[in-house]
Amino acid sequence: MHDVLQAKPTLETADIAHYMQQLGQSAKAATRVLAHSPTVLKNQALRDIHAALAASRDIILAANAQDMQQGRNSNLETALLDRLELTPARFDGMLQGLHDVIALPDPIGAITDLTYRPSGIQLGKMRVPLGVVGMIYESRPNVTLEAASLAIKSGNAIILRGGSEAFFSNQAIAGCVQTGLKQAGLPETAVQLIQTTNRAAVGELITLVDYVDIIVPRGGRSLIERILREARIPVIKHLDGNCHTFVEKQADLTKAYDICLNAKTHRYGVCNAMETLLIEAAIANEFLPKMAALFLQKGVELRGCPEVCALVAEAKPATEQDWHEEYLAPVLAVKIVCGIDEAITHINHYGSHHTDVILTENYALARQFLAEVDSSSVMVNASSRFADGFEYGLGAEIGISTDKIHARGPVGLEGLTSQKWIVLGSGQIRA
């Protein structure tokens, strides 16, 4: 294991294409075994990975300390350093997440909707793996294990491209994953970590049309946009989370104060945090001043429309850009709207179709909001912070899709699968 503490290998760009082709080929070869491995074998591999990680705890934490040191030396920004750090608690949480994935039902092979057609054939659908997943992510080393464990459980192979800032941590974790796969008798190449920090490797990965079936990028907007431009393979993309909460005039305000405070201040740097608060005019006088005071106590900067600024002295005037903004910071845009239609129009226009919430006790308006807001998660009387693979019971999440195609919202095991049609006949021919 100590080889992870060696210097980062730096492949010549000229060699990258050949290297990535090799990774693709061996990943594809691994799928031929993984796709048809029984649940008990896949779970055994995950348990062996758990054991290997537990046994290498000190080495992994040392590798992470090395990444943290290099990060500080290269003045990595604090938010990234925070995501990069593998505290003992986070390490234990990572291992617990592995237990959660082991406990999930195996989606592969499930046959549904078996029905007889007038022709006499029996038609159904069987769930199957996608094949090879290309995962591109930054900083958080635990993503290495989450992605690997979901890929194994769903019978896929995965090629991992972690951020260079987490190079040693990812090496150490991926090494344990391959040890576990080997012990269980599954191909180590089911999970491969790209062994170079050369950026050209990403360009190769997202164009390996012969070997890679889907690309899952997790990272900043510039990374995602580059991948969308250059990828020749389907991408499950996760763009901004500009999440709204609309406080309708029939909302239970005692709930509203708690939910809005939780949605904004529970964590600032996450994609499911509230970035814009919409308040119906009829209750603004009653609700806004007290709500604003709670935010200001927490040190949240408020940027409001003129009506908001008239009610809250501390609020700064919001610009057009504020309605588009994903702050990921203690800043909140606040707008007073005349009713649900204006709220829905605002959300569908300025929002990022991630997660949006209505607070109301009115049955018809709750149904209208659920139907008409075009977002991957639409909620009634709950904090937007619940839009999360763990809270949704997916065990782990490979990402959160802001796309409509294939997978939407938090993506777990099922997002890494597809369904094929099966036909059970008894000699039928087409008339």
Q: Which is nearer to a copy of itself, 87 or 345 (CB)?
A: 345
| Interaction of residue 385 with a copy of itself, rule CB under 8 A | yes
Report CA-CA distances (Å) from 183 to 26, 47, 180, 207, 265: 18, 10, 5, 32, 44
Helix (H) or strand (E) holding 332: strand 331-337
Site string for a copy of itself, 287-326 (x = CB under 8 A): ----------------------------------------
| Interaction of residue 278 with a copy of itself, rule CB under 8 A | no
Answer for which of 15, 210, 258, 341 binds a copy of itself (CB under 8 A) is: 258
Cα separation of 233 and 134, whole Å? 10
Answer for which of 33, 41, 80, 126 binds a copy of itself (CB under 8 A) is: 126
**Smallest gap, in angstroms, from Cβ of residue 25 to a copy of itself?**
14
| Interaction of residue 25 with a copy of itself, rule CB under 8 A | no
Alpha helices in 105-214 (DSSP H): 142-153, 167-184, 200-205
| Interaction of residue 156 with a copy of itself, rule CB under 8 A | no
Footprint on residues 202-221 left by a copy of itself (CB under 8 A): 213-214
| Interaction of residue 334 with a copy of itself, rule CB under 8 A | no
Radius of gyration of the chain (CA): 24
| Interaction of residue 406 with a copy of itself, rule CB under 8 A | yes
Pair type for strands 122-129 and 111-116: antiparallel
Structure tokens belonging to residue 399: 């990402």
CB 122 within 8 Å of CB 114: yes
Candidate ranges 50-58, 82-90, 93-101, 384-392; the one touching a copy of itself (CB under 8 A): 384-392
Q: Which long-range contacts (CB under 8 A, 24 or more apart) does 220-223 make?
A: 220/138, 223/136, 223/138
Alpha helices in 56-87 (DSSP H): 57-73, 78-84
Answer for which of 182, 266, 316, 324 binds a copy of itself (CB under 8 A) is: 266
Number of residues that bind a copy of itself (CB under 8 A): 64
Cα separation of 210 and 22, whole Å? 12
| Interaction of residue 372 with a copy of itself, rule CB under 8 A | yes
Residues that bind a copy of itself (CB under 8 A): 35-36, 109, 115, 117, 119, 121, 123, 126, 128, 130-131, 213-214, 228, 232, 234, 252, 255, 258-259, 261-263, 266, 370-372, 374-383, 385-387, 391-393, 403-406, 408-410, 418-430
